[in-house]
Structure 1
Amino acid sequence: MLKQKKQWILKNKELLSGDLLIAYLLRDRGVPDKSEECFFSPNFERDLHDPYLFRDMKKAVERVLIAAENDEKVLIYGDYDVDGVTSSTMLYKLLSALGLKAEVYLPHRENEGYGMNKEVVKQFSEKGFSLLISSDCGISNFDEVDLANSSGMDVIIIDHHLPPEKIPEACAIINPKLLEETYPFKELSSGGVVFKFIQAFFKNEKAKKFAQGKGLFEGWEKWLLDLAAISTICDSMPLVGENRVLVKYGLLVLSKTRNPGLRRLMEIARVNPAAVDTEKVGFCIGPRINAAGRMEHANLAFRLLNTESDAETVELSAQLNQANINRQKLVEQIMNQARRQLAENGGDFACVAYGADWPAGIVGLVAGKLKDEFYLPTFIIGSNGEKLTGSGRSIDELNIMEVMQKAAEGGLLAKFGGHKMACGFSLINESAVDEFKKQINQIAQEFIGELELSPKLSIDAHLPLEHISEPLVGELAQFAPFGSGNSKPKFFAKNLEVVSVEPIGQTKKHLRSYFRDSQGKVWKVMGFGWNSNGQIPFEANSRLDIVYELSENEWNGNKEIQIELIDARIVGD
């Protein structure tokens, strides 16, 4: 199987520049007319909604205040991913600062899986805990919440996942995705929802007075914005509306964070706090936090984010960094094993591979990478003790849940769930693997049929290199923070002459090229990772059409326009 060429989708074929280009990019991102100021300059006071627009917020704040006044024991039940760890940390910091006896429980990814566990609820109930607050889970845990209620524990659910038809009977539910929820912004991460709860606590006069008695004054919560931003970015929430505000100010807080664990984590990840952005969070900070749950236990990351000991931050950040290195090596090892399986016995319509020793915490990462490599729906199956657990990742042309629903009719699936582009599942036993591979390829063929499959690259506009200017690059920088729902603008330029190209970097996996535009001006173009296989994809004197991104690069005090190569085609190819 070969890598697929990308299909370029040019969203606007007009030749735009200057103000017209900026206006088009704003419209394309759904920014309403006369709302440019809110987009380019998010304001913390102006652009965040009142947290009490959540229908149950008042109940939740009052219940936590009662717990604080009565010195109750509170369980925070979180999740093992970045959003779960950071949102649980925010809650724990608030409750601990209020003097509450709070404990955090994060489930083991492989042994327990996602969501609340009845046995854990029972254990904490028997220990005298009278309030359970879920964070990044709970909305689908009807039975577990029912058990908590019957055991004398009140439950507050803080979540952002889509609710099932039957929702738990909790003391309060704060979830923007509830059908009857009155809160206007629906795309908060759980960390974002927790931040809204903490905001609401400090807006309640009685709660505010109680907090002041513990030395917490209005504005204290803003120092938690670094964690709210990390959760929003790493959970791939769209960076529009309130998320744009939380991330903009959260990155500012992260640049001067008071959290010793985050400071040490940035240091070991070689992230300059003064230059931290969404990319650094998503590719350097987030994976290290996530590695704890994937390779060991999420408690490792939680401890790092909550310790005040410098010695402990050194030890824990080193463990997280090593867990991330081990995760990277394991992903590459499993990918190579899966590639060999696919080469020997791969299907034409889906990639399915199985390894008895592939951890459940890794198979989703492998599925995503192989899906991108082969551009076929991909299912990677590992073993979780006696259970065979798998993850699926799909392509634009196929709803993977429709495939799984049909596959379930064959009786090979113990359970499955997910959405259009991704799913999780388990098989009834190891003997079902070969038949599952056969069925999945047959079903995928029925859906895909004669379609020509190719990954798509969305391009914002046609922008010849000669139209690039420093003022334009400065205006484009105002579109940051970039991420889901607000990707960095991509541009198209055609028929460029390659003047020279050379590998650079310690491992020579990057390319530095010089291209000549139609007016004879020569531009430096960087291709990061373009020589990772040791084969330079184009040579001097060839002519290329390219897709690129623009930014400003600063090195040793000097600033220059940076053109980053995203994709390229030989002219006439």
Structure 2
Amino acid sequence: MEAQWQLAPQIELAPEFLNAVARYVQTELPTARGEFVAQLLWQRGIREPHHLETFLNANAYPPASPFAFGVEMEQAVARIQQAREQGEKVAIWGDFDADGLTATSVLWEGLGQFFPPEQLTYTIPNRERESHGLNIAGLDRLAQAGFTLIITCDTGSTNLAEIDHGQTQGLDFIITDHHTLPPHRPPVTAIVNPRYFPTDHPLYHLSGVAVAYKLIEALYLTLPDVATQPVTELLDLVAIGLIADLVALQGDCRYLAQMGLEQLKQQNDPRTATRPGVAQLLALCKRGGDRPTDISFGIGPRINAVSRIQGDARFCVELLTSEDPAHCQQLAEQTELANTRRKELQKNTLKAVETQIATLDLSTTNVIVLADPQWSGGVLGLVAGQVAQTYGRPTILLHLGNDGYARGSARSTHGIDLYELVLSQQDLLHRFGGHPFAAGLSLKQENLPLFIEGINQALRRKLPDPAQLQPIIAIDLQVTVADLGANLFDELKYLEPCGMGNPAPLLLLKNCRFRDIEKAYIYDRRGKYIQYRKTEFLIYDTHQPEGFPGVWWGHSPEEISSEIAYDAVVELDSNTYKKRYEVRLMDLHLAGAQAPQPTATPILDWRQARPIDPPLAYALQNCPVGWEEVQQGFQRAIAQAQPLALAYHTPNLPDPATYLQRLITLGQALAASGERMGRSHLQAQLQVNSQQLDLSLEALAAMGFALEMGEDGITIGGYGESRPDADQVVEKLWGAIAEAQFRHHYFTTVPLPTIAQNLKPTAP
């Protein structure tokens, strides 16, 4: 489906703002060229002097203390100190993706400053045989080998059964993770997980490797005279895991990524390199190490490819931490070959998927769901992402196993909440986990037809107009070919690291042409040709007839004509290997075939800061939990002929355990006073919506409170014995609170173009 282009409005910026930007950006503002970066900063809400400083200058950002995790971090550090003093054996339990492998490496190298090698080990589950998380067989092996303390990273928060079993074997657990929290705190020594923070906390978005780094940082602060290696030497590993895991680069995540890229850049210079394995990876992917794309397109895919192809990715920790150049070269070449095989497998799977898609009626297919027993689960997420982007529909690809289950991955597109969509079919699912953009799931194969029909109906109800499935490309700036090059690249680089929540700028080139269009041949380390489509070209216009180099990944030369004028959307990049700047072609239309629309719908973003002199607008004050609430506000704004202003902030909703204690305390107070309280008053006291209040009252009743409900309010009586189903009722409440936290976070961070795309005027 052809994407609709939307061009962000170019605003006439005040001299005060231009001057404020000029203090941090090395360019002569307010020249036309200097305004590029200022326009982008303003578009992304970076408008206040203090925000400008901390966004552009990592050294001005005040990172949060690792002890912001409170008692959990204190207990973790105390238990590690105990293990050190008593000579206990400590095992690190990691995960097989880039975030998990770098987290394992950070703990392995960081704890190695405090423990001798014979007291430490690490384990990485096999992707094919064991999947994510703790497993009983592995814990038994560690217990039999004399290990007494397990420190997880990027995993473990919900492995309650495995933790219980491990404790019967004499194992203590410190969980460091960033994934979904369980309804009840697991019975572990400590659980260091940023999901306990409010969604606006600077540590909330930390990935697994960043949480592991915070634990090591806390040890350094507690035992300042023990370590001989500066803790900051771990930051290159932190940057790799953070950027590869696609977390929102906000707060401390952005800071750690900025500092980590500075450290990573040193690995590309033999005079400063300290990690021969990382240096080898940079050489293999022909990158310099100073850009986030060096990780997202270079190091990250290579590390992730190992478990996708081989299952066992344990050697990647050696690759990242070993000081033996010859050994690292051998391991890096294994990684490169795995990535080559991943590319071929991904290409072949995509071809097979497209063959099945050709049999579908896309006019009646809102969600693409396909399954095959031959597909490799290791690449299904990657292929699903490609298909979703190409066809403009959420895509779910499944492997049909011999055990009667279908397992696979789902990817979303242009703002559709995938988590909500798949969850609508939860009665048919065996397992499911994810977020609005990506998910993993499994279900019985016999349920597959019902699942396909149900999920298509769910999206059809949400988006009845097929035009709403049209992909949108949000363009940041319109430039000419003459604008491309070192100066513009240096300006755009001030926005880096780009990623989730801060995408790389997209540039519009109008009425341009192509020449020297050639197929690029790609070979692996052994000289074998990789059948991966890539086209190289020169792009030019009347402002710059000499032309500027570019590439178009996944496309053939036959798709461009040198005889036709085009409008093109590109990203400006730096090719370290060829020592040149080039554009990466993202989308293409015949010149004038589609006029870019202004950013759709009059929507103002006041979520971060409300203007001192706000324009007249209909303000959405309460943070929504679903698109219906935003749509209702949008319709009211239209009715009043005003823009819609997103004026809400993340509610300070406590974690489920804290909320339950607040609920019980309120119930006890009302029971003692005999006061009758209205529903609205109770909602205000508990800071919940109507549905959550119903679940809260049901939980109070299940726990033994006597409730009397009338039209004029609710009276809570004495406290008696709890019902047999009390645990299940409370768990349902906990799930609702956790879901509300998730949704509040989504609607306070979802980009403005995504919101605009999901809102459609309807007939009054």
TM-score of the pair, normalised by structure 1: 0.87
Q: Which amino acid aligns with 1:189?
A: S
Equivalents in 2 of 1:62, 1:183: separation in Å?
25
Structure 1 residues 398 and 171: alpha-carbon distance in aligned structure 2, compared to 1, 3 A threshold: same
- Verify: 1:391 aligned to 2:417, yes or no: no
Counterpart pick for 2:590 among 563, 567, 570: 570
Q: How does 1:37-56 map to 2 (within 5 A)?
A: 37-43=53-59, 47-55=62-70, 56=72
1:551/1:82 CA distance change after superposition, 3 Å:
closer
Residues 54, 183 of structure 1: 8 Å contact kept: no
Offset at residue 161 of structure 1 (A): 1.7
Matches within 5 A, 1:61-460: 61-100=77-116, 101-179=119-197, 184-204=202-222, 207-209=223-225, 211=226, 216-217=227-228, 220-254=230-264, 255-256=266-267, 257-267=273-283, 269-273=284-288, 276-296=290-310, 297-345=312-360, 348-384=365-401, 386=403, 387-396=405-414, 398-409=416-427, 411=428, 413-429=429-445, 431-452=446-467, 453-460=469-476
Partner of 1:357: helix, strand, or coil?
A: coil
Distance in 1 of aligned mates of 2:486 and 2:305: 39
SS in 1 for 2:235: helix
| Cα shift at 1:467 | 6.6
1:24-50 deviation per Cα after TM superposition (whole angstroms, max 9, x unaligned): 32233333511323222211x853222
| Counterpart Cα distance in 2 of 1:544 and 1:53 | 53
Structure 2 distance, partners of 1:344, 1:566, is 27
Q: CA deviation at 1:398?
A: 3.0
Code of the residue aligned with 1:393 in structure 2: it is: R
Q: Alpha-carbon deviations, 1:101-155, whole Å to 9, x = none?
A: 1121211223222221233223323333211111001122223223333433221
Counterpart contact for 2:243–2:292, Cα < 8 Å = yes
Provide the residue aligned with 2:673 in structure 1.
none
Give SS of 2:409's match: strand
**Cα pair distance change 1:152/1:530, threshold 3 Å:** closer
1:501 partner SS = strand
Question: Cα gap change, 1:415/1:472 in structure 2, threshold over 3 Å: closer, same or farther?
Answer: closer
Q: 1:271, 1:556 → 2: CA distance?
A: 9
Tell me if the contact between 2:10 and 2:39 (Cα under 8 Å) persists in the aligned partners: no
Counterpart residue type for residue 501 of structure 1: R
**1: CA distance, partners of 2:379 / 2:241:** 20
Tell me the residue number matched to 1:483.
499
How far apart are the structure 2 equivalents of 1:571 and 1:428? 49
Deviations 1:478-498 (A, max 9, x none): 22233222222223344x353
Which residue of 2 is the match for residue 529 of structure 1? 552
1:85 shift after superposition: 0.5
Q: Deviation of residue 329 (structure 1)?
A: 0.9
State the alpha-carbon separation in 2 of the partners of residues 565 and 42 from structure 1.
31
CA-CA distance at 1:289 after TM superposition: 0.8
Equivalent of 2:538 in 512, 515, 530: 512
Contact kept? 1:510, 1:532, Cα under 8 Å: no
Secondary structure of 1:47 counterpart: coil
How far is 1:523 from its partner? 6.1
Which sits farther off after the overlay, 15-24 or 90-99?
15-24
Q: 1:424 to 1:185 in 2, by over 3 A?
A: same
Which letter maps to 1:50?
Answer: S
Whole-angstrom CA distance in 2 between matches of 1:384 and 1:566: 36
Distance 2:374 2:553 in 1: 32
Q: Deviations over 1:455-481 (max 9, x none)?
A: 111112344567779655433332223
Q: Is the 8 A contact 1:398 1:448 kept in 2?
A: no
Contact 1:525 1:564 in 2 (8 A): no
Q: What's the secondary structure of 1:478's corresponding residue?
A: helix
SS in 1 for 2:369: strand
How far is 1:346 from its partner? Answer: 5.4
Question: CA 1:250–1:69 in 2, change beyond 3 Å: closer, same or farther?
Answer: same
Task: Write out per-residue CA displacement over residues 315-337 of structure 1, whole angstroms, 9 at most, x where no aligned residue.
Answer: 22222111111111111111111
State which drifts further: 126-135 or 347-356.
Answer: 347-356
CA deviation after TM superposition for structure 1 residue 68, in Å: 1.2
Structure-2 separation of matches of 1:145 and 1:434: 37
Name the amino acid aligned to 2:179.
H
Structure with greater contact order relative to length (CA < 8 Å, sep ≥ 6) = 1
The count of aligned residue pairs is 548
TM norm structure 2:
0.66
How far off its partner does 1:553 sit? Answer: 6.9
| Counterpart for residue 30 of structure 1 | 45
> Is the contact made by 1:414 and 1:426 (CA closer than 8 Å) also made in structure 2?
yes
Measured after TM superposition, the shift of residue 187 of structure 1 is 1.3
Q: 1:195/1:523 Cα in 2 relative to 1: closer, same or farther (>3 Å)?
A: farther
CA distance in 1: counterparts of 2:389 and 2:104, whole angstroms: 32
Paired letter, 2:43 = D
How far off its partner does 1:384 sit? 4.9
CA distance in 2 between counterparts of 1:421 and 1:237 reads: 11
Q: CA deviation at 1:547?
A: 2.9
How far apart in 2 are the matches of 1:110 and 1:417?
A: 18
Equivalent residue of 2:106, what SS? helix
**1:140 and 1:167 in contact (8 A); partners too:** no
CA distance in 2, matches of 1:367, 1:248: 30
| Aligned match of 2:706 | none
Give the AA of the match of 2:135. Answer: N
Give the equivalent residue in structure 1 for 2:569: 547
Change over 3 Å in CA distance of 1:545–1:280 after alignment to 2 = same
SS of residue paired to 1:133: strand
Q: Residue 9 of structure 1 is aligned with which of 6, 9, 15?
A: 6
Residue 556 of structure 1 deviates from its aligned partner by 8.1
Alpha carbons 1:14, 1:461 under 8 Å: kept: no
Does the CA-based 8 Å contact 1:12-1:462 persist in structure 2?
Answer: no
Aligned counterparts of 2:472 and 2:482: Cα–Cα separation in 1: 26
Give the equivalent residue in structure 1 for 2:726: none
